[in-house]
């Protein structure tokens, strides 16, 4: 029996209807990503990779076609179920870190845990994850604005991992970091992949893309043949 792919797009299209005419962002796209893969999605600006990321991340649903995340067709999902999917199955790592400014680093990591378990973390998982990404207890009490870009991205990685998601979805994770810090973050992501996690990186940087096991190139909303 073949394993269920963690992400499967079959003939997926995304069309934005505009007054000036429909914009086809994704054009009959078919992609399959297996559990434990490290995939880079690459393409120039406007190629449709952000749209693809939004579909895979459960933030948006395709206009047509079938998109299965961990075997579930998201086109049929209610907003509540899609939100639960984002909470439980997907760990987001954004280019701009996107930590919640009102919460400390510790609370930012704990936030999705509380949403899922309806209680605070008393298992020590938040502290362990923060330690794993190199954020000590003192830094954990700081608000995002008091941390460097690299530190914020480390906190974001810890947050993405807190609910043990099936997919780590990274949108230009090194885009706002200097080369040295960016390299450290990439090492961290590779280590997570080595632990068996599915890592998907959306990037336009070939050097980042080259570090993945497999690269999917998108152009004009279609998969570009290698």
Report the interface residues with another protein, using CB under 8 A: 54, 57, 59-60, 79-80, 83-84, 86-88, 92, 94, 98-103, 107, 110-112, 114-120, 122, 159, 163
We find the least distance from the C-beta atom of residue 207 to another protein, in angstroms, to be 26
We find the least distance from the C-beta atom of residue 16 to another protein, in angstroms, to be 11
> Which has the closest alpha carbon to 34: 214, 181, 154, 195?
214
29 versus 211: smaller Cβ distance to another protein: 29
Residue 31 to residue 60: CA distance in whole angstroms: 17
Other Cβ atoms closer than 10 A to 226: 6
Beta carbons within 8 Å of 94's beta carbon, 6+ residues apart: 156, 171, 173
We find the least distance from the C-beta atom of residue 157 to another protein, in angstroms, to be 13
Residue 48 to residue 54: CA distance in whole angstroms: 10
117 versus 137: smaller Cβ distance to another protein: 117
We find the least distance from the C-beta atom of residue 34 to another protein, in angstroms, to be 24
Residue 209 to residue 27: CA distance in whole angstroms: 22
We find the least distance from the C-beta atom of residue 22 to another protein, in angstroms, to be 18
DSSP class per residue in 78-141: -HHHHHHHHHHTEEEE-TT----TTS-HHHHHHHHHHHHHSS---SSHHHHHHHHTT--HHHHT
48 versus 211: smaller Cβ distance to another protein: 48
57 versus 173: smaller Cβ distance to another protein: 57
117 versus 214: smaller Cβ distance to another protein: 117
């Amino acid at each position: 029996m073949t394993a269920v792919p963690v992400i499967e797009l079959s003939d997926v299209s995304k069309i934005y209807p505009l007054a000036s005419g429909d914009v086809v962002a994704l054009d009959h796209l078919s992609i399959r990503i297996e559990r434990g893969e490290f995939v880079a999605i690459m393409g120039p600006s406007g190629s449709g990779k952000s749209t693809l990321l939004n579909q895979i991340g459960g933030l948006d649903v395709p206009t047509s076609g079938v998109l299965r995340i961990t075997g579930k067709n998201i086109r049929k999902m209610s907003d509540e179920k899609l939100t639960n999917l984002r909470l439980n199955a997907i760990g987001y790592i954004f280019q701009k870190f996107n930590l919640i400014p009102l919460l400390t680093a510790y609370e930012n990591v704990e936030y999705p845990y509380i949403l899922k378990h309806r209680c605070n973390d008393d298992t020590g998982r938040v502290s362990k994850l923060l330690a794993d990404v190199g954020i000590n207890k003192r830094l954990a009490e700081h608000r995002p604005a008091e941390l460097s870009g690299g530190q914020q991205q480390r906190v974001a990685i810890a947050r993405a991992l807190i609910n043990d998601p099936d997919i780590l979805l990274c949108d230009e994770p090194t885009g706002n970091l200097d080369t040295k810090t960016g390299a450290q973050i990439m090492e961290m992501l590779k280590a997570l992949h080595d632990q068996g996690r599915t890592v998907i990186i959306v990037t336009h940087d070939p050097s980042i893309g080259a570090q993945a096991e497999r690269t999917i190139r998108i152009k004009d909303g279609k998969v570009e043949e290698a």
